[in-house]
Structure 1
Amino acid sequence: MSQVVVVTGASAGVGRAVARAYGKRGARVALVARGRTGLDAAAREVRDAGGMPLVVPADVSDDEQVAAAAARVESELGPIDVWVNAAFATVFMPFEEISPEEYRRVTEVTYLGCVHGTMAALRHMRPRDRGVIVHVGSALAYRGIPLQSAYCGAKHAIQGFHESLRCELLHERSGIRTTMVQLPAVNTPQFSWVRSRLPHHPQPMPPIYQPEIVADAVLHAADHPQRREYWVGGSTVATLIANALVPGLLERYLARNGYAAQQNADVDDPARADNLWEPADGTDGRDYGARGVFGRAHERSPQMWASHHHNALALAAAGMTAVGLGVLRRRTPRARRAR
């Protein structure tokens, strides 16, 4: 029987790409988001790809709506196998320009939306003692950057929540697994509908990747949830290493370059909107699809290839280590005789 998969934030961007990828597998896919226009378009793509869609309009910041969505999925599609937390909201502006209401909204959608989705999924998965929950994270869960303090704070919170929950499930010897996919900069429509007070069009800090790469990573993570997290894009790993090895260097670099790198004066985007409180792809809105306006985005990720071939690489590394140790053992007696 085909998998039952729930994807939040499924109307556009990464969530849309994930839903379409599961459709190609023939899965029964529940599409959860606020924007009805985007949800209906996503349902057509899932159906055309070979899957069975179910449109479930809901705001993930409302725990009752999320619980009702999960109950409907179980009733109409069957037991949930995979739950993907991909919904989020954000604002682009310096911290001092963000209102308390805006900050609260980003936190409720991005962080609490993930918590609500996980609670709803576990409520149905626990009696069966099986299922997978995938959190769509970010390199910004490890490294905060300027102009995105609300989003960075929410992604850091998801990281801590994920690690804590994972430990609890391991303690219980639960058959339920949770994992996290850490994203690089992705070419999604968020930059066309994010609330912004920047002088120029917001953009992700390069290098930028297409959302289909992330979708591939999410499906791979759901298939192999024994790992705590998966990284997409070599730049995310480089950021983590630089942050660990040279404390303070990254802050100075971002302070100098982070403002300009997240703006693009050359982008002509007549579809610019604001979806913080209301969906830009609502009943009278337009369908934004999975990809954004940045055409020169990477179609492949070496880091994701490495994740797919993790076992082979580990075996190769172990083999090289064994060879090295063998060489050392052969050389050691000679060294002792020489002394």
Structure 2
Amino acid sequence: MAKDRHYRHVDELKPWSDREHMLECVAWTPEAPDVMTFTFKPDRPGLWFRYRPGQFVTLELPVGPEPVLRTYTLSSSPSRPYTVAVTVKAQKGSIGTRWMFENLKPGMKIRAIGPLGDFSYVNHPGEKYLFISAGSGITPMMSMSRDMADREPDSDVNFIHCARSPDDIIFRWELEYKARYLPYFQTGFIVEEVKRSQLWTGLRGFIDKAKIALLAPDFLERTVFCCGPEPFMATVRESLEGAGFDMSRYHEETFQPVAPQLPVAVAETSGEAKPFTVSFSQAGKKATCEPGFTVLQAARSIGVRIGAACESGLCGTCRVMKLSGEVDMAHNGGILDEEIEEGYILACCSRPRGDVEIEA
């Protein structure tokens, strides 16, 4: 059967929706040791991707009998809306990413949830920018850099990236190319170690206030975006604060595992607090939910599966439709206002205020 190759402008297409469609892998590209970029298109023609540079998606990976959920920042740019890409690093002992390296090939389809996230220059604009990243934390910075290069090539960006060695600098050649052809785009690299066989004339060691000032002398005037391991970001924060930087212009992104949600203490009333009933319409089951517990905890107590990755209201993976009842939801940006208006909630951070019915 011939593929649909009819040319369409973007305004003739519909935005891809994670509620209805899957992603199809179209390419994989090695970037650095244990680092790979996977590129996807919508699983059906006539769609395009709409998101903000720096946002993330959660992929449902069929690793075993039960799929695992992993959250990755998009390294692609929304200025090129026909495909999306994630650039992932396989850490020691990783499960989902290793499965992608060994199994995910062009033609395979997987489910994605998102895009979501507030970490974007679109949400936090500035006159000049300083991007500081380490390791795979480079991905949101790359998405923003690519978007700026396409939309506003005269943007003033200073990009500092830290890596273990010169060979571990992800997107090194593309960044150096941008620094050559974009008038106000500068790059600076810091590596921890250099082997005798490697030619390197740049900075060595670990990031600190002196190296930031050397690579970006006007950093006090810039809006800073930082992403990397938590100890790395803590060092950057301390360096900026020590220099008198206005931290209202500092933004960071991290995905740290969280402990399972504990019940929230419920204020004492004159009467004894009674448990609520949480009904799951698709599963045909009902759970008893003590005050202060979440919808996700209620689902797990009776074996109803609701996918959850971050369990802190950030990734949006556990989004479900609330058919009736009221909940208290304290999320961290993992759900859009229009989705809340439609009746969606995040199960991991929604605590029933009474009997609730969920479409799950």
Pairwise TM-score range, normalised by the shorter structure: under 0.3
Structure having the larger proportion of residues in strand: 2
| TM-score normalised by the chain length of structure 2 | 0.24
Could you say which structure has the greater relative contact order, defined with CA pairs below 8 angstroms and 6 or more residues apart?
Answer: 1
Structure whose residues are more often helix by fraction: 1
TM-score normalised to structure 1 length:
0.25
